[in-house]
Amino acid sequence: MIVIDLSFSLTNETEVYPGDPKIKIKKFTVKNENPVNLTEITLGSHSGTHVDAPNHFIEKGKTVDEIHISKFFGEAIILETEKYLIDNKISKKIIDENSSVINGAKGLIFKTGWSRKWGQKCFYQDFPQLDEETAEKIVKTGVNFVGIDSPSIGSPEVHRTLLSGEVVIFEALNLSNLTKRRIMFAAFPLPISGADGSPVRAVALVNNLEKLKIFC
């Protein structure tokens, strides 16, 4: 079994979604009879690779600590989006034309190639996302989670459709080195009381690894 990291590193220089809190990482030493190093971290709940809980868009929706842990991992299908993009929106055809491989999966991961823009301001501009009909189709598949390598899965309505259908959302995944079609996916948040989301360390577990290649 080989583990592939699907998360981006966070630094003080990491660009965040416009309007979100800036990331601040400060190291200091606790000076007492047993000095130790600690790190003070300030960041938004949707910094870097992260998960959206229903409460992010639904007022009384579940917070990240209320979601059953089984929602954060499972067999996932990687869907290449290139031929399904219309004006940066991922068409519902991607679900219709891949229904046979989607059947029985716990999650769907949309690979758009946007990972290559991480670290640039353009990462948050004109990015690929789901359209509303695609979100509706996803809920009907019965999957537990969806993920994408762009900063957002879609419009507020797309979020509400997925989250009200109890589909957890992972955003800003690093899919650069992922070449497999079917993986075991896992990405666990901190159980922060009342939080609408959390950064995650997302990974793919595969039985063997093809030669790594950057998706461009």
pTM: 0.92
> Domains of the chain by range and CATH?
2-9+45-206 (3.50.30.50)
Q: How far apart are CA 185 and CA 4, in angstroms?
A: 10
Query: Which residues, 6+ apart, have CB-to-CB distance to 163 below 8 Å?
Result: 52, 53, 54, 56, 57, 58, 61, 169
Q: Is the pLDDT of residue 213 over 50?
A: no
Query: Quick check: 86 pLDDT over 50?
Result: yes
Element (H, E) at 147: strand 145-148
Q: Is the pLDDT of residue 130 over 70?
A: yes
User: Sorting pLDDT into bands at 50, 70 and 90, what band is 208?
Assistant: low
pLDDT at position 33 is 78
- Local confidence band at 54 (pLDDT 50, 70, 90 cut-offs): very high
pLDDT at residue 195 greater than cutoff 90: yes
- Residue 104, phi then psi, degrees to nearest 5: 90, -10
**Band (1; pLDDT cuts 50, 70, 90):** confident
